[in-house]
Amino acid sequence: MLPSWVDGPAKSAIVEFVSAVTTPGGRGFVAPEDRVAVFDNDGTLWCEKPAYIQLDFLVRRLAEQAAADPELAAQTPYRAAAGGDLAWFGDAVTKHYNGDDTDLKTLAAAIFSAYQGLTVEEHAQRVAAFFTDAQHPSLGRAYTDCGYAPMIELLRFLEGNGFTNYIASGGGRDFMRPVTQRMYGIPPERVIGSSVGLDFTDGQLRTSNRPEFLDDGPVKPVRIWGRVGRRPIFAAGNSNGDIAMLDYTRGGAAPSMALLVAHDDAEREFAYATGAEEALERAAAQGWTLASMRDDWSRVFP
């Protein structure tokens, strides 16, 4: 049972919660159809440093576009992509979490147009090709091997106890879907994420350059309800962008659990709290379960 979790408060809290909601006749029993669990992806199920995995995929596309169009190459963010300046992209996301979306809007405009006109199948093929040979820049492993072993075990543990697991991520829905079944055992229909609008023409669904949803912050509970139609009783996240999802999960009448993954293991992964400061404070104040990578996981990766 959860072999990569160290025996301690975090593991005990998980096991006790699952036992309580699955014991027939118990005060905390929850019917199987209401055992919904939601997981953030970046930084919760797979690594997000030194940059988001999807960012690598997008930067390659922006650099490709810049190489084909000198006018684009002189503009932000194409100039940063062509020059390999990943720091600009990371700073744009950090600014977003600090309330400044100036650079994020510029980045978003480029992202929305990056794959405009492709069919959804063509886009999925490009994502699959990326994951075939792309590697993490510092961990020396394939991105598909960057899922956290303890969290994958947690997915299986919940599943084995009648839970239905969903991903609710700020990452792109159509970027995650080609790999979530293989990595996490979560099928594409249970992936909720950010998305661009789609157009149906000539019998095909094609990507547009219109934003549809940025699945982050307060949008997460809205999207979860819209897709699932049930309030989760278990949620796991790692950043300020997950607070609303964790609050929503904890705000129902049924027993519930909020798990916050803390990145504090510089030796085996990364140590950082940027973008998670408020979430860490809320975890302490509201009794969320904190999962320390350093203290609660005997291993990080499979």
Is the predicted pLDDT of residue 62 greater than 80, yes or no?
Answer: yes
Give residue 220's domain range.
9-49+145-296
Is the predicted pLDDT of residue 111 greater than 90, yes or no?
Answer: no
Contact (Cβ atoms closer than 8 angstroms) between residue 207 and residue 122: no
Same domain, 13 and 162: yes
Q: Is 223 contained in some domain? A: yes
Same domain, 59 and 125: yes
Is the predicted pLDDT of residue 49 greater than 90, yes or no?
Answer: yes
Same domain, 124 and 261: no
Q: Is 28 contained in some domain? A: yes
Q: Residue 97, Cα to own-chain centre: how many angstroms?
A: 15
Q: Is 1 contained in some domain? A: no
Same domain, 208 and 223: yes
Same domain, 37 and 175: yes
**Residue 96: helix, strand or coil by DSSP?**
helix
Q: Across the chain, what does the average pLDDT equal?
A: 94
pLDDT the model gives residue 99? 80
Same domain, 200 and 281: yes
Percent of the chain surpassing pLDDT 90: 78
Per-residue CA distances from 218 to 23, 136, 290 (Å)? 32, 30, 21
Is the predicted pLDDT of residue 102 greater than 90, yes or no?
Answer: no
Q: Residue 34, Cα to own-chain centre: how many angstroms?
A: 22
Contact (Cβ atoms closer than 8 angstroms) between residue 51 and residue 86: yes
To the nearest 10°, report the CA torsion of 7, 22, 187, 250.
Answer: -80
**Residue 298: helix, strand or coil by DSSP?**
coil
Q: Is 302 contained in some domain? A: no
pLDDT the model gives residue 100? 86
Percent of the chain surpassing pLDDT 70: 100
Is the predicted pLDDT of residue 190 greater than 90, yes or no?
Answer: yes
Distance separating alpha carbons of residues 142 and 77, to the nearest angstrom: 26
pLDDT the model gives residue 292? 98
The whole-model pTM stands at 0.93
Same domain, 267 and 238: yes
Residue 195 backbone class (left: φ over 0; alpha: ψ -120 to 50; beta: rest): beta
Same domain, 150 and 247: yes
CB neighbours of residue 121 within 10 Å: 9
Same domain, 179 and 205: yes
DSSP tag of 238: -
99-108, 235-244, 255-264: least confidently modelled range: 99-108
Q: Of 112, 133, 154, which residue is a domain's last?
A: 133
CB neighbours of residue 161 within 10 Å: 14
Q: Of 133, 165, 186, which residue is a domain's last?
A: 133
Q: What CATH code is carried by the domain that includes residue 34?
A: 3.40.50.1000
Q: Is 287 contained in some domain? A: yes
Q: Of 79, 113, 133, which residue is a domain's last?
A: 133
Same domain, 118 and 163: no
Question: How many domains does the structure of the chain reveal?
Answer: 2
* Average pLDDT, integer, range 251-256: 97
Distance separating alpha carbons of residues 255 and 23, to the nearest angstrom: 13
Is the predicted pLDDT of residue 178 greater than 80, yes or no?
Answer: yes
Same domain, 37 and 168: yes
Q: Is 275 contained in some domain? A: yes
Q: pLDDT tens across 133-143, in order?
A: 899 999 999 99
Same domain, 173 and 151: yes
Please provide residue 157's backbone torsions phi and psi, each rounded to the nearest 5 degrees: -65, -45
Q: pLDDT tens across 145-174, in order?
A: 999 999 999 999 999 999 999 999 999 999
Q: Is 150 contained in some domain? A: yes
pLDDT confidence tier of residue 92, bands split at 50, 70 and 90: confident
DSSP tag of 236: E
- Where does the chain show beta strands of DSSP type E? 36-39, 164-172, 191-201, 204-213, 234-237, 257-262, 289-292
* Average pLDDT, integer, range 107-124: 89
